[in-house]
Structure 1
Amino acid sequence: MPSFSPSTIVADDADTTGPDTHADATVSEGGRIRLLVLTDTSILSSGGSERFLRNLMARLPPERYRVVVVQLTDTTRAWSDTSLPDGIQHVQLRSLPIAAVYGLRGWLALRSLRRLVERGQFDIIQSQHEKSDLLNAFLPRTKGSVRISNRRDMGFNKSARLRFLFRFLNHRFDCVVAPAQPILSGLAREEDMQARRMLWIPNGVDTERFQPQPLSARRQTRLALGLAEDAIAFGCIASLTPVKRHCDLIEAFAQVHRQCPQARLLLVGDGPLREPITAQIEALGLSEAVRLLGSLPNVEGVLPALDAAVLVSSTEGMSNAVLEAMACGLPVVATGVGGNLQLVQHGISGLLVPAHEPAALAAALQHLIDEPLMRERMGASARARILREFSLDSMVHAFDRLYHRLLGRP
């Protein structure tokens, strides 16, 4: 089991530990880079931005990094419940739960983080998501340290007021990183972000963990999932939240199922819309054709059993779900938004459709059903592109180079 020690920072007056008695202070050992990561969500959850952070933190070389991750939420699951690589003793996980960054709780959180920064003497403070970015921006600067904002999506949760505020705060970051170029274009347009401060580092995928299965293993997996030999199985790996637009997918799949009764749809993920999604499935008479599998720790065991993957979000950064499906040799049907436009090459590795248009989505799904050779060709192209351009090693190496460049280290 990975050795990753969770603890909690209490954002109140009880936090009076001095710098000479704090056992968890990050000390520079042998020139290691001392990295503090702030994130709004629990990195133990199954979302794409959380998987990205786990992958990055786990693979930064422990002989060159000491890392503290502070998540602005409660730790809800044990590390034994997640699929993580071994050997991450160089990372400490902590929680600083706050509901909102404004008001008293936000001020207390900022004070606790200031004390942590003063004790830890971090070389780099990196944040992702809105609350973490705000706290990072307001933390005092220390000589020789750098600040990084890691923007993971198109900013669909940001209010107009918050976008306006970031116009005055973005200069406090030495670099803003994003996994998709449309995110950076949006920052330049809406938050007046300077091009010289921005950098594109695409997400990476573990191509050994996510890869096609041999035919015999694929048949066994399909049998375990209750898929018949002639079933055409589509899969959507996404949280059951409004932005993922499962309602459009189910409406489109209903049209497809009427023409192709052996079509099946597997939904992997959980979230607040589970009940209405279930109700929609039942209302359309799809209970036997659509299965909600919930959150799965071993999605790599399900993907190779599918015939194609689908993602119909109304907005998207750079989807790990799409990357992982492509790595497993699957063609992808996705909406033409955000990072999907960079990942899915229309007609080569999959099909792009407009967002909020179930009819166009149904036509794309039907096209894949009707053309099995095209599915195979697209899946092979998808796998080849991931190996060529989106490996996990390349992503980690890019961040490693960035950290050293910003610190002026070789």
Structure 2
Amino acid sequence: MIRVLNIIETIGSGGVERRRLSMAKLLDKSTFELKIICTNSYGAFADEIRKCGIEVIEIGSLTNFLDVKQHLKVQKIIADFRPHIIHGAIFEGVTMAAINGFWKRVPIIILEETSDPQTRSWKGNVLMKVLTLSAHKVIGVSPAAANYLINTLKINKNKVELITNGIATPRKVTHDETVALKKQLTISEHEIVIGSVGRMTDDANKRFSDLINAFAILVKKQLPVKLILVGDGVEKKKYIQQVEDLGIQKQVFFAGYQADTSLYYSVFDVFSLVSSHESFGLVLAEAMFHKLPIVATKVGGMKYIVDDNETGFLVEKYEVQSIASKLEILSQNKQLRQEFGQKGFHKATQNYTEARYVDNIKGLYSSLFNRHLRTEQPDKTKKITQQ
């Protein structure tokens, strides 16, 4: 039995916790024993992880990266669980895994870069570099993240592991469900629905304001379009005010947070995400599973997910007019929407399933275990695996 201790920040509704849920569901429990440390947890993902029989241990937020009280909690959990592998993701998780894994002599330390840190300070880069010194592998969740590790942090490329994100196959939405939602939202048959999904917590990152401004250009051209934004956060009130100031409130619907996003994807005709930076962009893969054409910014991991002029259009960040232009092309060309959507679906099913992701993680865990425990310390491993 290989004991694995995952450490992340808050378990809420983001990509990292989605991947931990995939691991909880699909890692073979006869081979792997998994526990998860987090600062806090809430919502459906935390509940689903626990339903899979995985213990989720909340320790509370860190006041700073050298929060002794919190590190001592982690060390106590390590002492009790005696993991063979410690795996940290997000800054807090990376910090706790690197420091306490090294201090408590956990045999295998894995760290994970989950962002595209274009704005990380030089001090942050130095700290991240120092934390990776104790790691056996550092995962990049996208080519952009892996390039950051190799080219900015100067980590030996043999130490960097590219494991792209994967998502659960979306549920099939019935025709009646889609019709009912369109009726509820007063979407007529001739209207084209542009949709986006994401947290509304930081407009400097997600740039929903740019998408709204681009959509307003289409409305001014009197195109039959509607915009649905799925998500919630502190920026939502500002977006609502922006829509009112532009006089397009009849064409824009704020759906709020939705645990079941598949229903909303089913009414979209075009999907758009125009972030200023993005490590991967899980919602792009979700949209591709729903056979949607995409308009996205050419940043981070998104430029590797969307094939320009094949599965969608890539535009430069902040370029509102370019976003509007590409949305207009897709809103007026049904055949192109179908062509892009079908190609995107094929790419998603080949590259972005949660089964593929978990197989990659399983392979990494197993290879490191075999290399660092079975072959180098056979007597010690025999004793560990018999306990």
Give the TM-score of the pair, scaled to structure 2. 0.90
Give 2:59's aligned residue.
Answer: 96
Give 2:31's aligned residue.
Answer: 64
Q: 1:127 to 1:157 in 2, by over 3 A?
A: farther
Question: What amino acid sits opposite 1:383 in the alignment?
Answer: F
Q: 2:183 aligned with 1:223, yes or no?
A: yes
Q: 2:228 aligned with 1:259, yes or no?
A: no
Partner Cα distance (2:56, 2:282) in 1 = 22
Q: Helix, strand or coil for the counterpart of 2:154?
A: coil
Partner Cα distance (1:260, 1:200) in 2 = 45
Shift of 1:215: 5.3
Decide which of 7, 10, 13 is 1:46's aligned counterpart. 13
Q: 1:109 to 1:34 in 2, by over 3 A?
A: same
Give 1:173's aligned residue.
Answer: 135
Which whole-Å deviations, capped at 9, do the CAs of 1:103-125 have from their partners, x for residues lacking one? 5xx11111111111111100111
Q: Helix, strand or coil for the counterpart of 1:323?
A: helix
Q: 1:352 to 1:261 in 2, by over 3 A?
A: same
Any unmatched runs of 5+ in structure 1? 1-31
Give 2:86's aligned residue.
Answer: 125
Shift of 1:59: 1.9
RMSD, aligned CA: 2.1
Any unmatched runs of 5+ in structure 2? 375-387
Counterparts of residues 324-335 of structure 1 (less than 5 Å): 324-335=286-297
Please say if residues 140 and 149 of structure 2, whose CA atoms lie closer than 8 Å, have aligned partners that are also in contact.
no
Partner Cα distance (1:39, 1:143) in 2 = 19
Partner Cα distance (1:218, 1:334) in 2 = 25
Q: Helix, strand or coil for the counterpart of 1:347?
A: coil
Question: What amino acid sits opposite 2:75 in the alignment?
Answer: R
Counterparts of residues 89-238 of structure 1 (less than 5 Å): 89=53, 91-102=54-65, 106-141=67-102, 145-156=107-118, 158-207=120-169, 209-210=170-171, 213=173, 218-238=178-198
Partner Cα distance (1:82, 1:296) in 2 = 16
Give 1:294's aligned residue.
Answer: 256
Shift of 1:61: 1.8
Please say if residues 71 and 94 of structure 1, whose CA atoms lie closer than 8 Å, have aligned partners that are also in contact.
yes
Q: Percent identity?
A: 22
Decide which of 7, 11, 22 is 1:55's aligned counterpart. 22
Shift of 1:406: 0.6
Q: 2:318 aligned with 1:356, yes or no?
A: yes
Q: Helix, strand or coil for the counterpart of 1:172?
A: coil
Q: 2:45 aligned with 1:75, yes or no?
A: no
Shift of 1:130: 0.9
Give 2:381's aligned residue.
Answer: none
Q: Which has more helix, going by share of residues?
A: 2
Q: Helix, strand or coil for the counterpart of 1:408?
A: helix
Partner Cα distance (2:78, 2:321) in 1 = 53
**Please, which moves more after superposition, 163-172 or 121-130?**
163-172
**Please, which moves more after superposition, 356-365 or 56-65?**
56-65
Question: What amino acid sits opposite 1:55 in the alignment?
Answer: S
Shift of 1:318: 1.1
Question: What amino acid sits opposite 2:120 in the alignment?
Answer: K
Question: What amino acid sits opposite 2:187 in the alignment?
Answer: L
Please say if residues 83 and 297 of structure 1, whose CA atoms lie closer than 8 Å, have aligned partners that are also in contact.
no
Shift of 1:159: 2.9
Partner Cα distance (2:239, 2:184) in 1 = 24
Please say if residues 58 and 87 of structure 1, whose CA atoms lie closer than 8 Å, have aligned partners that are also in contact.
no
Partner Cα distance (1:192, 1:390) in 2 = 28
Question: What amino acid sits opposite 1:169 in the alignment?
Answer: L
Please say if residues 304 and 329 of structure 1, whose CA atoms lie closer than 8 Å, have aligned partners that are also in contact.
no
Q: 1:301 to 1:358 in 2, by over 3 A?
A: same
Shift of 1:254: 0.3
Please say if residues 144 and 407 of structure 1, whose CA atoms lie closer than 8 Å, have aligned partners that are also in contact.
no
Shift of 1:127: 0.8
Counterparts of residues 316-327 of structure 1 (less than 5 Å): 316-327=278-289
Partner Cα distance (2:13, 2:61) in 1 = 20
Give the TM-score of the pair, scaled to structure 1. 0.85
Give 1:22's aligned residue.
Answer: none
Q: Helix, strand or coil for the counterpart of 2:283?
A: helix
Aligned residues: 369
Give 1:304's aligned residue.
Answer: 266
